Amino acid sequence: MSQNVHIAGVGMTPFGVHENETVGSLTAAAVDEALRDAGIPLAEIDAVYFANATQGALEGQLMVPGEVALRRLGLDGVPIFNVENACASGASALSLAITSVRAGESEIALAVGAEKMNVGDRALTMTVFDGAYDVSDPDALERTLRALGGDVDLSGVGRRSRFMDIYAAMARAHMETFGSTQRQLAAVSAKNHRHSVENPLAHFRTDLSIDDVLAARPLGFPLTVPMCSPLTDGAAAAIVCSDAVARRLAEGRTVEVLASVVGTGVRRDPRDYSRHITAISGRRAFERAGIAPADVSVAEVHDATAFGELLVSELLGLVGMGEGGPAAEAGITSLGGRIPINTSGGLESKGHPLAATGLGQIHELVAQLRGEAGARQVDGARIALAENGGGFVGGEEAVAVVTILRGR
């Protein structure tokens, strides 16, 4: 019989550029904090799910990265599983930890994600993104982008991840279908930069206006640099536990997991948003949790670009299709609005250390549900949702993970 599952503790390093840190040291810092937060000793961990997407390409650690990174903690004898699911690696690791505890295989499981992306060779780092779509048929990507966003002159826009071209094409398709505007995308970005000012762990903490975002260097219409996530180092971790363990921990500190759904895409017309991977995964998550989108108090979603947040907010039903841009302009998704999204600053400002990102979202939402988010606190937050996407296959993300949490 499956059992209820809880997040007992979370830990996160500052996200940013960590020249003097390693994947191992970042991992250790996040895990140590999560254990302290939970009040659980290392010896009680039954299993570990370690997420990393780039160390093999950047440092040559092609195998057993988790065993290597966690060795310094003295974590001996427990099973360690290495998880790679592109930008959704961290949320995927968490889902596996949740499954382990729910199935009764573990009483306490650890999910941790870590990336060291700033290795002194920016050109090398940018190449890792080229491995997040089908490398056997690169022409297929070009055909897909052309079908989505038409032919656009991208000369002179500077160095960027290939995924910025992907998001730009998807944004142009959405603009054509729903009439969303570049200014609405800038409103999403400005909102997230404003939120990050109050987050001491964020990569960037500079308040930007809509006009500031629009005036910044273009990265292929309609995107500008502040609308896009930076190259970030960092780690985040979560301790998952059973009901029995939760009952003996500090009252009010654990957060219940209502649903954790991992989805991969289906073959669809790119304009059929009802069958988008995130829409399908969201519906499954809401059904498992026994709630509706209107019940969500606060959300952290995958805004690798501002358009990512706009689209995901619609696909999950937090706002109606075509209403993501107007909602951002009207302040509906800001702190104090009806459904605050990315109170942490999101990937655009908090940063995007790929495999740590999904667990960084959980760090923020646990703080919100405990009432510990300080100036970012959402009043009365009780239900929280995280959406973490990764890779690109067939005109959409290759994987999407939706996690729903409930506070006490």
DSSP letter assigned to residue 220 = S
Active site residue 352: yes
Q: Which two tokens stand for residue 373?
A: 């988010």
Q: Which two tokens stand for residue 66?
A: 């988790």
Q: Which two tokens stand for residue 276?
A: 């988008």
Closest by CA to 65, choosing from 121, 9, 27, 12, is 27
Helix 89-102 to helix 354-370 angle, to the nearest 10 degrees?
60
Q: Which two tokens stand for residue 24?
A: 């191992």
Q: Give dist(CA 351, CA 123) in Å, integer.
A: 19
Catalytic residue (choose from 6, 174, 203, 352): 352
Catalytic residue (choose from 6, 87, 193, 203): 87
Q: Which two tokens stand for residue 146?
A: 């052309």
Active site residue 87: yes
Using CA of residue 51, residue 57, residue 63, residue 64, what is the dihedral sign?
negative
Three-state DSSP state, 388: strand
C-alpha angle 54-97-235 in degrees, rounded to nearest 5:
35
Backbone angles phi, psi at 361, to 5 degrees: -60, -45
Number of H helices, E strands in the chain: 15, 9
Q: Which residues are catalytic?
A: 87, 352
